[in-house]
Structures are given as structure tokens and as C-alpha cells.
Structure 1
Amino acid sequence: MIGWRLPANLLGTTEAAERAGARVREIHSMLTATDPDTGERYGVDEPELLLWVHCAEIDSCLHVLRRSGFPLTDAQADRYLAEHRVSARLVGLDPAAVPASRAELAAYFEKARPELAAGPEARAVDDFLLRPPTHPLLVPAREVLWRRVAQLAYAALPPYAHELYGRPAPAPAAVTRRLKGTGAMLRRVPARVRWQLPPKHILRAMARLGPEARPAPYKVGL
């Protein structure tokens, strides 16, 4: 559901975002899970769980964007986090309880880290993302293309995440070089090509906002 709600929250109309948020809250209210240690059943819409997903998601986007060489200042990063309290509200969180700056986000992760663990579900997702189900004829392409993308994404995880998965963390400098190289390559794709690729709802959102709203590094300071 997280991947589905992001486009509507970020690139849809206010009404579409509110509808998407209501739908996510409705679905979450019907879902439960079981604590593997205690056997206790709990709802997936518990605030602590929603807050973790929100913070991990937003931090990942911001972290990779800056690490890939996009010129975002600290003040702009804080603004990005503060503005995302709106998306947090849409999934059922109290915006006042959501980190609104880099300092608040760092404090949240410092507090949450002792409670983290890589259980069977996390390892199943890990395996799925590295080796998603693919038609047999496409397996070679998956190994050549997708596996490299997935490995770079996992390499960008913070050191404590690698520790939880029980594998050594790659050298940060090497990962940063790969992210910068990938970011530079993608940002060199001509605009006339790049803007033919997004899904239609993104193109409609950009059309509503006008051509000046298209993101570009040189516009960040505006």
C-alpha cells in the first residue's frame, strides 16, 4: 500500500490524496499481524508501526537523493520532512508526533534502533526484492539489470540495517560513488525522453502545475 499511496499523495489533487488516504486507513484497519515472539495479535495501523514506515520511507528518499549528488541544502531537506507531515496525517498519524526536521528524524531513529530486528518476514521481502518472480525467459535480464539496481539500493541502507541482516556493510565511499554515477547518468536523460516515461497520473499532475514545476537541480534554489 505504501507504494500505491505515494503517487496520489505527492502528485495528485488534494481530493485525490484525501481519498487515497481514507482508502489506506480503511484497509489498514482490517489488517492484523502476529508478534513472532509473544504470539500477540496487533493491528497494522498502530501509530508506532505507521510512524516507522513513514520515517523509513521519507528518510530513504531524502538520503538517496542527496547522496546521489542532487544539490539540496539542509534547510530544503528540513522543509521536505516538514511538508511530509501531510502524508503522515493521511495514513492516520498525528502530524505533531512526526519528525519535521533532520535533527528530529535522527533522534527518532536513535530511539527506535534498539527495537529493530530482521525477522522471517523481513528476510522474505529481502529475497523477493533481490530476486522477484520473473518469467523464465527474463531471468537472465533480471540477473543482469534488476539485480544491480536492487544491490545498489540495499547497499545504500544505513550500517545498522546491514548488521540486522547479518551481512557486512559495503564501504560508504564506494556506495556514494555508485549513487552519484547513477544519479548523474539518469539526470542526463534528455527531458523530451524523460517526460515520456512517467505514468499518466504524474504527467497530469505536472500539467496542472505547469512546466515550471518540473523538478530540476537548477531550480532547487528558487
Structure 2
Amino acid sequence: MDSTDTGLFGPDSVTWKLHAEPILLLAGLRSLYLQALHPRAMAGVAQNSNYRRDAWGRLVRTANYVGTTVYGTTAEAEEAGLRLRRLHARMTAVDPATGQRFRVDEPDLLRWVHVTEVESFLDTARRAGVPLDDVEVDGYYTEQRRSAALVGLDPETVPGTAAEVAEYYRRVRPELRMTKEAAETALFLTAPPLPWKLSLPARVGLNLGPLRWAYLGVAGTALALLPGWARRLYGGLGLPTTALSAEVTVRALRFALTALPRDWREGPMRRAAEERAARSAALSG
């Protein structure tokens, strides 16, 4: 492995700046609520995933994948993308509306998942107070076309600016709706089972009520951060004050997270990437 390889993006990228923010954990939850509104995408997940039995394991695997594509070496990112493409290539699902079987790696579905994920990262971060100007916003979307290529998309077919993302949402919105699977997934995301290490104390009588209420608040904030049209699909959560309250909450949460010790906020992938970047800078200097 090249000890100076900073991967697909590098220390001068908007991607590294944005993904250094721990508030993106909340953004990931927001993206899942949004993705659930696409009936075919939701069918692909519901018919192929064991997320109900292993919700936290799936969350960890997804976080590791994103971390690898952002902070891993070029070879590590490409290998992670290859594994994901091979996994998706074996999966099919049945369209709940037409009864037709389809592949879960159809470009339209991969594009939906990609756009909702990167838009959630960016929108959540900006509303939490991360300083990003319009040029950086477009730069992030353009950079993330490299991530889209990893899952098998043609980068030229992926929105690469804020205006293109807005236009993409405008085009896809007629396909979105609240289905039984979407409602069940949203309910599961709002009140998932506790990880097993936390569930053990509950079995012996320890009150974990505050932890559950704290997570419920996080989930409620993620829902409130959705675009107004998406909140309305979830049952009319489109009041003007909803977005404002969510922004106040997410800014306070970011402040609390950034106050944590650095070792708590930075994972090993990021630290390893920064060490490679430092070696690269020393050699080039």
C-alpha cells in the first residue's frame, strides 16, 4: 500500500472538510428516511436486507463503507466499491406496483440512493452551521461523482451541482409516495431495538428510558430536516416552524459533538488518512 496515497479526494477536498463533521451521523439517518419514499428502492431493501434483525450491524457496515471511500487509499476505495457491486449484482426484487422483478443495481435506483445520501450530508451540515459557500457546495457534489462511479454509475449521469440536484428531485418526486414498506421502515428507524450490549442492562431492570428518549429526539430531528415535500409525504410535517426548530436543534447538537475530545470524534480511518497526507506533503515539500 502506498503510504502517501490520500485516496479519491485528499486533504484539500470539500469532501474531507465536510466528512470531518460528526453531525453527519444525523445526516445518514435523514437519508434513510428520504430513501424509504421511493417504492422500488424500498422494495429492494425490504426484500433483500436483514436490517430488522441486524440494524446496528448494517449501520456499522454502511459507515465503514463511507469511511473507506472518503478516507481510504485509492485501492481500498475501489475494492470496497467492487465488493458492493458484486453484492448488488446478485440481488433482485419484485416491484410492489407492477409485480415485475427487477435488479436492485438499476442505475435509477443507485442514483436515488447516491443523491439522497450526499444531499443529506450536505444539507444537514450547512444547516448545522458548517461554513460552506456555494462554490464548495457544487464542489462537493462534483467530487462525489467519484463515489457514484464506485457503485457502477456513469458519473456524467449523476447530479454534480446544487442546481442539478434540485432538478433531479423535481423530476423524481412524482415517483415518490408513502407505502406500507416506507411507513414500517420509518417506524423502525424511529424506534429501533437497542444494540445488544445496551439491551442487556434493560433485561436486568436498569432504566434506559432517557437513552430511548434521546434517540427519539435525534430521529425526530432527522425527520424534521427533510425537504418540506418529503415531510408532507410522511403525514404533513410541513409547518414553517418545523424546519426552523430542526435547525436550532441540529446547531446545538453540532456544538455539543464538536466539544467532545478529538479522539472521540475522529475514527481510525480519518487519522490514518491524515498521516498519509502528512507524509505526502513532507515528500513534496
TM-score range, shorter chain: 0.7 to 0.9
Residues 257 and 265 in structure 2, CA contact (< 8 A), matched pair in contact too: no
Residues 93 and 104 in structure 2, CA contact (< 8 A), matched pair in contact too: yes
| SS of equivalent residue, structure 1 residue 195 | helix
Residue 151 in 1 paired to residue 211 in 2?
no
1:29 alignment partner in structure 2: 89
Match of 1:204 among 247, 272, 275: 272
Report the Cα offset of residue 118 of structure 1.
2.2
Residue 131 in 1 paired to residue 202 in 2?
no
Match of 1:50 among 110, 123, 131: 110
2:68 alignment partner in structure 1: 8
Stretch of structure 1 that moved more, 157-166 or 176-185: 176-185
| SS of equivalent residue, structure 1 residue 148 | helix
2:254 alignment partner in structure 1: 183
Counterparts of 2:73 and 2:139 in 1: how far apart (Å)?
20
Counterparts of 1:28 and 1:199 in 2: how far apart (Å)?
27
Report the Cα offset of residue 207 of structure 1.
2.3
Let me know the Cα RMSD of the aligned residues. 2.0
Residues 28 and 45 in structure 1, CA contact (< 8 A), matched pair in contact too: yes
Counterparts of 1:117 and 1:187 in 2: how far apart (Å)?
36
Residues 50-129 of structure 1: pairs in structure 2 closer than 5 A: 50-129=110-189
Between 1 and 2, higher relative CO (CA 8 Å, sep ≥ 6) is seen in 2
Report the Cα offset of residue 186 of structure 1.
2.2
Counterparts of 1:120 and 1:3 in 2: how far apart (Å)?
27
Using the size of structure 2 for normalisation, the TM-score is 0.68
Q: Which amino acid aligns with 1:175?
A: A
Give the unaligned 5+ runs of structure 2: 1-60
Counterparts of 2:170 and 2:91 in 1: how far apart (Å)?
28
Counterparts of 2:264 and 2:255 in 1: how far apart (Å)?
19
Residues 130 and 150 in structure 1, CA contact (< 8 A), matched pair in contact too: yes
| SS of equivalent residue, structure 1 residue 126 | helix
Report the Cα offset of residue 185 of structure 1.
2.5
Report the Cα offset of residue 4 of structure 1.
4.2
Identity of aligned residues (%): 37
Counterparts of 1:163 and 1:36 in 2: how far apart (Å)?
22
Report the Cα offset of residue 2 of structure 1.
4.6
| SS of equivalent residue, structure 1 residue 42 | strand
Give the unaligned 5+ runs of structure 1: 214-222
Q: Deviations over 1:12-67 (max 9, x none)?
A: 11000000000000000111111111111111100000000000000000000001
Residues 5 and 24 in structure 1, CA contact (< 8 A), matched pair in contact too: no
Using the size of structure 1 for normalisation, the TM-score is 0.87
Counterparts of 1:205 and 1:157 in 2: how far apart (Å)?
31
Report the Cα offset of residue 205 of structure 1.
2.0
Residues 11 and 205 in structure 1, CA contact (< 8 A), matched pair in contact too: yes
1:217 alignment partner in structure 2: none
